[in-house]
Amino acid sequence: MPEFLELLPPPDALKVLLSHIIPEPQTEQIETTAALGRVTAFSVNAPYSLPTFPRSTVDGYAVRAADTFGASDSLPAYLTLVGEVPMGAPAGLSLTAGQCALIHTGGMLPDRADAVVMVEYSQSARPAEVEVLRAAAPGENVLKVGEDVVAGQEVIPAGVRLRPPEIGGLMALGLNRVSVARRPRVGLLSSGDEVVPPEVELGLGQVRDVNSYSLGALIEQAGGIPVRYGILPDHSEALRVAAARALGDCDVVIITAGSSASSRDLTAAVIDSLGRPGVLVHGVDVRPGKPTILAVCDGKAVIGLPGNPVSALVIAGLFVVPVLRILLGLQAGRPTPRLSACLTTNLPSQAGREDWVAVRLQESPQGYLAEPVFGKSNLIFTLARADGMVRIPPEATGLEAGQVVEVYLS
Amino acid sequence: MPEFLELLPPPDALKVLLSHIIPEPQTEQIETTAALGRVTAFSVNAPYSLPTFPRSTVDGYAVRAADTFGASDSLPAYLTLVGEVPMGAPAGLSLTAGQCALIHTGGMLPDRADAVVMVEYSQSARPAEVEVLRAAAPGENVLKVGEDVVAGQEVIPAGVRLRPPEIGGLMALGLNRVSVARRPRVGLLSSGDEVVPPEVELGLGQVRDVNSYSLGALIEQAGGIPVRYGILPDHSEALRVAAARALGDCDVVIITAGSSASSRDLTAAVIDSLGRPGVLVHGVDVRPGKPTILAVCDGKAVIGLPGNPVSALVIAGLFVVPVLRILLGLQAGRPTPRLSACLTTNLPSQAGREDWVAVRLQESPQGYLAEPVFGKSNLIFTLARADGMVRIPPEATGLEAGQVVEVYLS
Contact A97, A112 (CB under 8 A): no
- The stretch B64-78 carries a mean pLDDT of 97
Residues of chain A with pLDDT under 50: 1-2
Cα–Cα–Cα angle for B383, B389, B395, rounded to 5 degrees: 135
Statement: residue B83 has pLDDT above 80: yes
Of A89, A170, A195, the CB nearest to B205: A89
**A368 inside 8 A of chain B by CB:** yes
Residues B167 and B203 in one domain: no
Residues A204 and A258 in one domain: yes
Residues B290 and B206 in one domain: yes
Residues A350 and A323 in one domain: no
Q: Please give the backbone phi and psi of residue A15, each rounded to the nearest 5 degrees, phi first.
A: -60, -45
Statement: residue B3 has pLDDT above 60: no
pLDDT by residue (tens digit) across B283-333?
Answer: 999 999 999 999 999 999 999 999 999 999 999 999 999 999 999 999 876
Q: Is the CB of A105 less than 8 angstroms away from the CB of B260?
A: yes
Contact B28, B180 (CB under 8 A): yes
**B386 inside 8 A of chain A by CB:** yes
A-B Cβ pairs (cutoff 8 Å, strict): 323
Q: A261-272 and A236-249 are packed helices; what angle lies between their axes, rounded to 10 degrees?
A: 50
CA distance B55 to B144: 7
* Cis peptide leading into residue B198 (ω within 30°): no
Q: Which of residues 52-71 of A touch B (CB under 8 A)?
A: 52-53, 55, 57, 59
Q: Of A328, A347, A364, which one is at a domain's C-terminal end?
A: A328
Q: Is the CB of B106 less than 8 angstroms away from the CB of A307?
A: yes
In a domain, A1, yes or no: no
10 Å CB burial of residue A5 (0-12, 13-18, 19+) is exposed
Across A201-337, the runs of DSSP E, i.e. the strands, are: 207-208, 225-232, 252-256, 277-282, 286-287, 293-297, 300-305
* Cis peptide leading into residue A277 (ω within 30°): yes
Contact A64, A113 (CB under 8 A): yes
pLDDT-based confidence at residue B1 (cuts at 50, 70, 90): very low
- Looking only at the bridges linking them, the beta strands covering B115-118 and B99-103 are unpaired
The whole-number pLDDT of residue A4 equals 55
Distance of residue B239 Cα from the nearest chain A Cα, in angstroms: 17
Distance of residue B110 Cα from the nearest chain A Cα, in angstroms: 11
CATH code of A402's domain: 2.40.340.10
Statement: residue B131 has pLDDT above 70: yes
10 Å CB burial of residue A189 (0-12, 13-18, 19+) is buried
CA distance A25 to A15: 20
pLDDT by residue (tens digit) across B107-122?
Answer: 999 999 999 999 999 9
Residues B257 and B273 in one domain: yes
The whole-number pLDDT of residue A5 equals 61
Which chain B residues are closer than 8 Å to A364 by Cβ?
Answer: none
Residues B346 and B216 in one domain: no
Contact B328, B252 (CB under 8 A): no
- Name the residue in chain A with its Cα closest to that of B48: A202
The whole-number pLDDT of residue A375 equals 84
Contact B348, B341 (CB under 8 A): no
- The stretch B243-270 carries a mean pLDDT of 92
| ipTM of the prediction greater than 0.90, yes or no | yes
Q: Which domain holds residue B397?
A: 338-409
Which chain B residues are closer than 8 Å to A173 by Cβ?
Answer: 208
Q: Is the CB of B335 less than 8 angstroms away from the CB of A363?
A: yes
SS3 B304: strand
SS3 A214: helix
Residues B73 and B105 in one domain: yes
CA distance A202 to B25: 34
- Quote the distance between the C-alpha of residue B275 and its chain's center: 32
Which chain A residues are closer than 8 Å to B168 by Cβ?
Answer: 210-211, 213-215, 217, 309, 313, 380, 383-384
Q: List residues bridging with A103 in a β-sheet.
A: A60
Q: Which helix (H) or strand (E) holds A390?
A: strand A388-392
CA distance A385 to A220: 21
**Interface mutation vs chain A, best among B4, B49, B87, most A CBs within 10 Å:** B87
Distance of residue A18 Cα from the nearest chain B Cα, in angstroms: 23
**A192 inside 8 A of chain B by CB:** yes
Residues A33 and A177 in one domain: yes
CA distance B263 to B3: 13
- The stretch B370-396 carries a mean pLDDT of 92
**B36 inside 8 A of chain A by CB:** yes
CA distance B308 to B287: 12
Neighbours of B176 (CB within 10 A): 16
Q: List residues bridging with A407 in a β-sheet.
A: A339, A390
The whole-number pLDDT of residue B172 equals 97
**B369 inside 8 A of chain A by CB:** no
CATH code of B135's domain: 2.170.190.11
Is the backbone of residue B289 left (phi > 0), alpha (psi -120 to 50) or beta?
left
Q: Is the CB of B261 less than 8 angstroms away from the CB of A104?
A: yes
CA distance B294 to B168: 40
- Name the residue in chain B with its Cα closest to that of A222: B164
CATH code of A217's domain: 3.40.980.10
CA distance A98 to A121: 17
**B84 inside 8 A of chain A by CB:** no
The whole-number pLDDT of residue B262 equals 84
Q: Is the CB of B204 less than 8 angstroms away from the CB of A338?
A: no
> How much helix, strand and coil, in percent to the nearest 5, is found in chain B?
20, 35, 45
Which chain A residues are closer than 8 Å to B378 by Cβ?
Answer: 51, 55, 57, 143, 148
CA distance B48 to B349: 57
Q: Of A270, A305, A328, which one is at a domain's C-terminal end?
A: A328
Residues B250 and B211 in one domain: yes
CA distance A291 to A112: 74
Q: Is the CB of B148 less than 8 angstroms away from the CB of A381?
A: yes
CATH code of B31's domain: 3.90.105.10
**Interface mutation vs chain B, best among A213, A215, A231, A361, most B CBs within 10 Å:** A213
Cβ contacts of A303 within 8 Å, gap of 6 or more: A252, A253, A254, A255, A292, A293, A294, A295, A315, A316, A319, A320, A323
In a domain, B315, yes or no: yes
- Looking only at the bridges linking them, the beta strands covering B367-372 and B354-364 are antiparallel
**A117 inside 8 A of chain B by CB:** no
The whole-number pLDDT of residue B14 equals 97
Q: Is the CB of B147 less than 8 angstroms away from the CB of A91?
A: no
Q: Is the CB of B387 less than 8 angstroms away from the CB of A335?
A: yes
Percent of chain B with pLDDT strictly greater than 90? 88
What is chain B's mean pLDDT, rounded? 94
pLDDT by residue (tens digit) across A207-229?
Answer: 999 999 999 999 999 999 999 99
pLDDT by residue (tens digit) across B391-404?
Answer: 999 999 999 999 99
The whole-number pLDDT of residue B93 equals 95
pLDDT by residue (tens digit) across B13-42?
Answer: 999 999 999 988 799 999 999 999 999 999
Statement: residue B352 has pLDDT above 50: yes
In a domain, A2, yes or no: no
Of B55, B166, B381, the CB nearest to A169: B381
- Alpha helices, H only, A142-249: 164-172, 211-221, 236-249
Residues B98 and B175 in one domain: no
pLDDT-based confidence at residue B362 (cuts at 50, 70, 90): very high
Residues A135 and A250 in one domain: no
Domains in chain A: how many in total? 4
Q: Please give the backbone phi and psi of residue A208, each rounded to the nearest 5 degrees, phi first.
A: -85, 155
Residues B114 and B100 in one domain: yes
The whole-number pLDDT of residue A164 equals 97
Q: List residues bridging with B360 in a β-sheet.
A: B371
The whole-number pLDDT of residue B4 equals 55
The whole-number pLDDT of residue B375 equals 84
Distance of residue A156 Cα from the nearest chain B Cα, in angstroms: 8
- Name the residue in chain B with its Cα closest to that of A203: B89
In a domain, B380, yes or no: yes
Q: Which of residues 3-22 of A touch B (CB under 8 A)?
A: none
Contact B112, B96 (CB under 8 A): yes
The whole-number pLDDT of residue A333 equals 65
Q: Which of residues 155-174 of A touch B (CB under 8 A)?
A: 155-156, 162-174
Q: Is the CB of A107 less than 8 angstroms away from the CB of B194?
A: yes
Of A368, A382, A384, the CB nearest to B335: A368
In a domain, B377, yes or no: yes
Q: Is the CB of A338 less than 8 angstroms away from the CB of B337?
A: yes
